[in-house]
Structure 1
Amino acid sequence: MRGHIAKKGKKYYIVIDLDKDEVTNKRKQKWLSGYDRKKDAEKALPGVLTNFQKGTFVEPTKKTFGEIMETWLRDKKTSVKHGTWKSYEWLVNTHIVPNLGKIQITKLKPQHFHDLYHRTLLPKLSVGSIKKAHVLILDALNRAVTWGIISQNVASSVALPQGKKKKFEVWNEHQLKIFLDAASEDQYFLAFELAASTGMRQSEILALPRAEVDLQRKTASVRQAYTISEIGHDLDDTKNDSSIRSIALFANTTRFLENHFRKQEHEQARNKLYNDSGLVIQTSVGTPLGPRNLMRHYYRILDRIVKEHPDFPRIRFHDLRHTHATLLLKAGIHPKIVQERLGHSSINVTLDTYSHVLPNLQEAVLKNIGDSITGESISTKEPTLLD
Structure 2
Amino acid sequence: MNSYVSPKPRRNQRGSVEDRWRKRTKDADGNTVEVPSAVAGKVTRWRARYVDNGGREIQRSFERKVDAQKWLDAQLASLLRGDHVSPQDAKLTVGQWCDKWLAGYGTRRESTVRMAEVHLKIIRAEFDAVPLSAIKPSDVRAWCAKLKAEGRADSYVYALHARLSQLFSDAVHDELVARNPCSRRTSPGMGKQRPYVATTAQVWALYDAVPDGVKPAILLGAHAGLRLAEAAALRVTDVDFETGVVAPSVQWGDKPLKSELSRRPIPIPLDMARLLAAAVPLGDGSHLVSDQWGNPGGPWTIQRAVRAAIPVVGLPEGFRFHDLRHYFASLLIASGLDVKVVQARLRHASAKTTLDTYGHLWPDRDDTSRAAVEAVYQEREAACPSTSAKSSSTSSTPFPMATSGPTARTFSFPLRSDRSFPSTATTSESSLGL
With the shorter chain as reference, the TM-score category is: 0.7 to 0.9
Identify if the C-alpha distance between structure 1 residues 18 and 365 changes in structure 2 by more than 3 Å, giving closer, same or farther.
Answer: closer
Which residue is equivalent to 1:220?
246
SS at match of 2:196: coil
Aligned counterpart, 1:343: 347
The CA distance in 1 between the partners of 2:299 and 2:353, in whole Å, is 25
Give the Å deviation of 1:284.
4.8
The 5 Å alignment of 1:27-106 reads 32-33=59-60, 44-54=71-81, 56-61=83-88, 62-77=91-106, 79-93=107-121, 95-106=122-133
- 1:154-211 superposed Cα distances (whole Å, 9 cap, x missing partner): 335752111530211111222223222223x443121112111212222221221111
After the TM superposition, which of the residue ranges 123-132 and 163-172 deviates more from structure 2? 123-132
Q: Deviations over 1:243-296 (max 9, x none)?
A: 2222222333222212111333xxx4xxxxxxx6x2222445565433233211
| Corresponding position of 1:235 | 255
Alignment of 1:98-247 (within 5 A): 98-120=125-147, 123-156=150-183, 158-183=185-210, 185-226=211-252, 233-236=253-256, 238-247=257-266
Q: Distance in 1 between matches of 2:226 and 2:308?
A: 21
Q: Which residue is 2:304 aligned to?
A: 296
| Equivalent in 289, 304, 328 of residue 281 of structure 1 | 289
What one-letter code is carried by the residue in structure 1 that aligns with 2:297?
A: L
CA distance in structure 2 between the partners assigned to 1:285 and 1:109 by the alignment: 58
Match of 2:268 in 1: 249
Aligned length: 337
Partner of 2:328: 324
2:49 aligned counterpart, secondary structure: strand
Contact 2:332 2:342 survives alignment (8 Å): yes
Residues in 1 aligned to 2:62 and 2:119: alpha-carbon distance in whole angstroms: 35
Unaligned runs of 5+ in 1: 20-27, 227-232, 269-275, 374-387
CA apart distance, 1:335: 4.2
1:81 Cα offset (Å)? 0.9
- Given the superposition, is the C-alpha separation of residues 55 and 351 from structure 1 closer, same or farther in structure 2, using an over 3 Å criterion? closer
CA distance in 1, matches of 2:357, 2:119: 25
Given that residues 13 and 32 in structure 1 are in contact (C-alpha distance below 8 angstroms), is that contact kept between their aligned partners in structure 2? no
Distance in 1 (CA, whole Å) between partners of 2:58 and 2:342 is 64
| Residues in 2 aligned to 1:55 and 1:325: alpha-carbon distance in whole angstroms | 48
Give 1:299's aligned amino acid: R
Structure number with greater Rg is: 2
CA distance in 2, matches of 1:198, 1:138: 35
* Equivalent residue letter for 1:206: A
Distance 2:369 2:278 in 1: 39
1:13-28 equivalent positions in 2, closer than 5 A: 15-16=48-49
Residues 16-68 of structure 1: CA deviation (Å, up to 9, x unaligned): 3679xxxxxxxx99553467999976764431231245565332123211100
1:14·1:31 contact (CA, 8 Å) conserved in 2? no
Unaligned runs of 5+ in 2: 1-13, 21-40, 377-434
In 1, the alpha carbon distance for the partners of 2:177 and 2:289 equals: 50
* Residues 163 and 2 of structure 1, relative CA distance in 2, 3 Å threshold: closer
Letter in 2 for 1:318: H
2:152 aligns to what SS in structure 1? coil
Question: What secondary structure is seen at the aligned counterpart in 2 of 1:16?
Answer: strand
Q: Aligned partners of 1:335, 1:29: CA distance in 2, in Å? A: 54
Residue type matched to 1:47 in 2? A
CA contact (8 A) 1:344 1:350 kept: yes
Structure 2 distance, partners of 1:130, 1:351, is 21
Q: How far off is 1:101 after superposition?
A: 1.0
Contact 1:3/1:15 (8 A) holds in 2: yes
Identity %: 24
Cα distance change of structure 1 residues 145 and 347 upon mapping to structure 2, 3 Å threshold: closer
Measured on the aligned residues, the alpha-carbon RMSD in Å equals: 3.8
Q: 1:121 to 1:333 in 2, by over 3 A?
A: closer
Deviates more, 1:104-113 or 1:46-55: 46-55
The structure-2 alpha-carbon separation of the partners of 1:328 and 1:364, relative to structure 1 and needing over 3 Å to count, comes to farther
Secondary structure of the residue that 2:116 maps to in structure 1?
helix
Compare 213-222 and 323-332 and name the one that shifted more. 323-332
**Contact 2:172-2:178 within 8 A present in 1 as well:** yes
Sort the Cα spacing of 1:205 and 1:39 in 2 relative to 1 into closer, same or farther, 3 A: farther
Q: Report the Cα distance in structure 2 between the residues aligned to 1:217 and 1:362, rounded to whole angstroms.
A: 40
Residue aligning to 1:380: none
Q: Distance in 2 between matches of 1:257 and 1:18?
A: 69
Inter-partner Cα distance in structure 2 for 1:13 and 1:115? 40
**1:136 partner amino acid:** R
Q: In 1, distance between residues paired with 2:375 and 2:56? A: 83
CA contact (8 A) 1:305 1:312 kept: no
Structure 1 residues 10 and 153, CA, compared in 2 at 3 Å: closer, same or farther? farther
Q: Name the SS of the counterpart of 2:363 in structure 1.
A: helix
